[in-house]
Amino acid sequence: MEKQIIPILMYHSIQSVPRTEVMRSLHVHPKSFALQMWILKILGYRGCSVSEATASFRSGTTEKLVALTFDDGYKNFLTNAMPALKKYGFSATVYAVSDLVDTSNRWDSKNGISDNKLMDYSDLRMCVSEGIEVGCHSSTHTSLTAEAVELAREVTFAKETLENNLNICIYTFCYPYGHFNDSVINEVSNAGYKSATTMIRSRATANDDGFCLPRVPITWHTLPHLFLAKVLTKYEDVRKYS
Ligand SMILES: [Zn+2]
């Protein structure tokens, strides 16, 4: 039997930004996003959360799935991504930074990246009520492989904070900057998460370690033909260890 392949698409902000924007690739134009969701729909795919994707690997269903992830939990998700998701009955996973809920992407300011508002708890609760999974992206968006990082605080306490504020269980973690090592994976696993996503490039399969799930980056510059190649072909898979 052919192994099931689920591309886990990695988005950040869904927003129109000027040409001069620093790190424009972190944004996707709302019209591009809507077109990408339409492409998935006409190809017979359903957009799902990371936890649905890993459950599908375990159960071996043959449904055509593409998992959709939104790192950092930008407020523009609600206005610029949610309408297209609802239109096609898609789910997704939003990765929130627990200490920075209702603030902005402060960790980026030293790199000259513009301030961009993050969702507050009522926004995140609305996501949950719309069937969107909320995952955890650490407490402070620091590199978890840095020296002197407080892993328990960034991984375990962050999970408890989101769970207490949202009254749900948090099952999936996303490594800030894609940085992780064995100690980080141990902390994530011991905290009770069931999966974790990285920035390793590839479409995911049931053979992947659930705590090192690869993803497919979608950026401002991902035109429709490239989007198709990323979802349908080995385009990303051959970049796995590059
Ligand atoms: Zn991030």
- Over residues 73-91, the mean pLDDT reads 98
pLDDT given at position 145: 98
Q: Which of 40, 29, 15 is nearest to 91 (CA)?
A: 40
The alpha carbon torsion through 150, 155, 161, 163 (nearest 10 deg) reads: -170
Could you tell me the distance, in angstroms and rounded to a whole number, from the CA of residue 97 to the centre of ligand 1? 8
Could you tell me the distance, in angstroms and rounded to a whole number, from the CA of residue 177 to the centre of ligand 1? 6
Out of 23-27, 81-85, 192-196, which region has the weakest mean confidence (pLDDT)?
23-27
Could you tell me the distance, in angstroms and rounded to a whole number, from the CA of residue 210 to the centre of ligand 1? 19
Which tens digit of pLDDT belongs to each residue from 166-182? 999 999 999 999 999 99
Could you tell me the distance, in angstroms and rounded to a whole number, from the CA of residue 141 to the centre of ligand 1? 6
Could you tell me the distance, in angstroms and rounded to a whole number, from the CA of residue 1 to the centre of ligand 1? 36
pLDDT given at position 111: 85
172 within 8 A of 193, measured Cβ to Cβ: yes
CATH of domain 5-239: 3.20.20.370
Confidence of residue 2 (pLDDT cuts 50, 70, 90): low
The residue with greater pLDDT, 18 or 163, is 163
Could you tell me the distance, in angstroms and rounded to a whole number, from the CA of residue 115 to the centre of ligand 1? 14
pLDDT given at position 18: 86
Could you tell me the distance, in angstroms and rounded to a whole number, from the CA of residue 60 to the centre of ligand 1? 30
pLDDT surpasses 70 at 124 = yes
- Over residues 70-91, the mean pLDDT reads 98
- Over residues 32-50, the mean pLDDT reads 98
pLDDT given at position 193: 98
**SS3 category, 173:** strand
pLDDT surpasses 80 at 45 = yes
Report the DSSP beta bridge partners of residue 135. Answer: 95
Out of 20-24, 48-52, 94-98, 230-234, which region has the weakest mean confidence (pLDDT)?
20-24
Could you tell me the distance, in angstroms and rounded to a whole number, from the CA of residue 108 to the centre of ligand 1? 9
Annotated domain spans of the chain: 5-239
Could you tell me the distance, in angstroms and rounded to a whole number, from the CA of residue 137 to the centre of ligand 1? 7
- Over residues 58-69, the mean pLDDT reads 93
- Over residues 207-233, the mean pLDDT reads 97
**SS3 category, 230:** helix
Helices (H), 19-148: 30-42, 50-59, 76-80, 82-88, 121-129
Could you tell me the distance, in angstroms and rounded to a whole number, from the CA of residue 237 to the centre of ligand 1? 22
pLDDT given at position 110: 85
Could you tell me the distance, in angstroms and rounded to a whole number, from the CA of residue 40 to the centre of ligand 1? 25
pLDDT surpasses 60 at 70 = yes
pLDDT given at position 173: 98
198 within 8 A of 161, measured Cβ to Cβ: no
pLDDT given at position 122: 98
Could you tell me the distance, in angstroms and rounded to a whole number, from the CA of residue 58 to the centre of ligand 1? 27
Could you tell me the distance, in angstroms and rounded to a whole number, from the CA of residue 62 to the centre of ligand 1? 31
